[in-house]
Structure 1
């Protein structure tokens, strides 16, 4: 039996795959043994009180009409025979396995068992009429011939319900729809019976019961019986015409013989179902349909209420998140809990760089790779950018206009390790926040497609939480800028007002020193005063650099050359005081950037000096450069001549690291990890200079794990006018 690999893989991992009770499997094995004693079979049955009760009740039923009352398992086996015992036990157990399966007007379980039992009884009567010795096998095959429908209903309820709603009265179209899902119910049923180690001919009868009539003519008897029995127990638009034709062509039965057989089957059907404890329903009245439909709607409504309640709880956690990492953590948790999707990627839109930038949790094993994910808005063929621009949910499974996905999309699919991706736009108050990417297989996508409305609601709330966080951060930045502006203005006034008296004081001190003898004790005090004045001058110079907001001229700068020159200088001035080893990894042929050289010097000197000062007991300082053209990890994706990309400078040390408290406000003025009354302006100045150069700066650090600063500067653009 061949089943498409996709459905085979799905079936192998189904959560609702039915399993037969262990005692029943033991009973089947025992009954299949040659020359097995009745007492041995009875011992197996006696291990399960429920099974004993069912079999004794069955043996005493009106259907079998015993001449004396059966009271023991051994008597029941002797009276019914091993094959009948096995068939009836399997039939009853399969019913119990699926008994609690929820149904509705589309798939009525009572009607299903009515059809299955009628097929089983007709098959057994055909076996008797054709003098086939395997009447009990024919009965069992008839009971199980549609079991694949149950498996598909339990595991793919929405897909299968949609299929049955449209084509319930057209079996051929139902089969075609099942094939589109990956396998027909006949193939699934045969696969399950193989898995249960049923005799191959029984599985064959299940597999072939919808094959063309001309192919059935040359099959073995059991396959023919189930084919005809199924046709005679199925009422189509043409009544039983197909069944009469099949019975005549396959077995040569006349219409009178078939009508007699059907009459006998109808007479036995109720008795057999009652004996087996199976509830059946020959047809569904209009009143029942309405009731079932109402029940189905109530169930859907209850499910929606449960989903929304769970969503509300998750959203409350989301909106209560204190920072970006907390929002990200709650977003991941919500997607996994509500929608059972584990491959999630979140990219936020950076309006300054006009690109989607990956964000990840520090504990993520692929944190560095996700953080390096950079998707420029110019990559119009990317599904992510199309989702961002159109503000619509897009996926890689149903793209028809452009069957060839962008290389970047393929990279992300491989990175997530799934068959495809679902991209959801993150929009809040008509502002673009980013894109959430879910990695999934086609089966997961088909399940999730019915929940897109709920999924969109959740993603909208995640976008809102991120947007609120960004607004808060923007307001803080604005307050910082105003504070910096006020400080800059005050600093310029202080510098102007203080420099003159300082110069006068230094001159008078020099004159005073000249008037005193060289050995006068006051000379030492004058020296101390001079040193303190020099320290005041140093503070003024720092204020001067902090308040310097002049428009700077951009020029082509070779970043590698500039770093090499600066590191030569710092080698001479800093290595004497710090036991630090320098490591370089400068990418050859790095493109030049248009920037102000002095601003770059100030940025690099600040960061390098900070790294040295952090490693008081020695360590390693690593400086790395590389060209980024909008790629993922180690697989760059070129953006074309109109988008040359970015130069990234990474400066890292293995010092003591930075606490989360300080890191949260690292680039704010007056925030510092240093002691001895440091001003805490250095990193604020660095941040402002990088921003002026239209770049970005980020910090990765943890206590005891060192610190890494990443600066990205655009190629081919200068500073802000």
Structure 2
């Protein structure tokens, strides 16, 4: 007997086999211009193992954000995109590195198929009975055989030899107990229970083999799972067992059951793994392994390209870098970049150093008849090779001249629904056009669009800061104005400290003193903003530093409002070379902002995670999350502008702008996710350079 624990460790979870088609879809989505949690959800709901990996990650990172009625979508909304990308890369690498036999591949295909039958049937049932949480039902159906996939992933040959069946049954459970001292329903129960959801999902799986008669009074989710199992047992032929179960569990007559069965079958019949022989399946997995390898390499290349683009300082440097990338990766003679000016709806040329004289003069309306404008409006590639030169606009003819080719191809740049600009590239032949529809160029376009969006957002924030302050010296002036009253407060504190000595409030004094000192450090830092390199870098134990920040804030920030602070620090995180002073100030500010957003008895979590990208780079992901009311959409759009406040009237609103400046100074990135339902989280991603 091989004794297997019902509880799955983190290492065992990483070794579980996801569907290669789902892994490929995820990696493809990660290379796109933008992808929402809804897009990812549709992909991930095809694979029980990847769903489990996502929920396990969410339990560690953002447990308070998981909605039991919509577990997967809420988990995806709470996780950062680098985490999802890293999970997809891990799954792909494991699939690529594993050697399969033809029988193993066929068995996996059957497991993946039956999980889809369960998922689709459960969703249809939930909608038929107006169950309020169809996603919960769909996920439950998907997970009916996740325990079998777990046992098989750990011991594939033994499972095939001793068990052999890919359908859940009492007989299979009995044989599993003999071979592994546990069974697939116990494994699934332990996995789902670990997510600590207020849901009967774990019960629905645990009681999967109860007699139909005993399930009649059970909760709807248990009955949905039970009928879904019957459909899994006969997915192609509607038999008397399914009809009887539908009648006993939901009171469906024969006609209603037939309609539901037909509806579900339309979605899963084409997924059948029983067409062709086992060798065909082995060849298919081989093709998918090659595709996954290519996708991982493409993703690594994209991250390298993104790094080059985001490292560019200013518009001219960005254009020069992006121009080099297009000229290096295509047959184009020249590349010219344009951005959309929102107020006038005009396309404005962005020249590099060598293009300044001509490109700076190129301007056209977004509503014009030019090829570039048409490409941006339609979000499709447009080229000049099908037009006689006399039928082209004057702008297009000038553009061809500047692009130094016989013709021009125009590519739109979008990020999500936001139109950012476009690229015009000079080509010699029409035959070159097809390459610009390739995945390689789509990947390059996506990376350039993300970097351009970041660049434009930075310019808007700078412009906003200048407008708000009426001049470019807003921060130095504020530093000067704040320093005077701060000095007076500091003087008074000596007297206050004497009065508090020996009282129950004695511990408050050093906390206030430390805060005044920290304000002084911030003021000193911003008064010397041009000399940021003087702030020293050193090897920093981020877990220890963040722990000290939390302890320093407990007496004055968390305790008065009875706020619970949860920390979850990655023990594998090494000392990182960075600026400890700025890290401390960033998280003091973020944690205090989070506390101010909460009522009494609120909750804040502080999480660190070390992750590795496809190209081998290491990063630290630090998340501050609260369960407050969230940030209004109109405020979130200008969150890091100098005069934007998330705290209401009477606040200066400079905190997050200061944080953004410090984040930029340490070479990190910061993002915010917020909703009224799940509160607000700030994600800081820091390069994990070994200190």
Fold equivalence (TM over 0.5): no
User: If you compute each CA radius of gyration, which structure gives the higher value, 1 or 2?
Assistant: 1
Greater RCO, 1 or 2 (C-alpha within 8 Å, sep 6+): 2
* TM-score where L is the length of structure 2: 0.34
* TM-score where L is the length of structure 1: 0.33
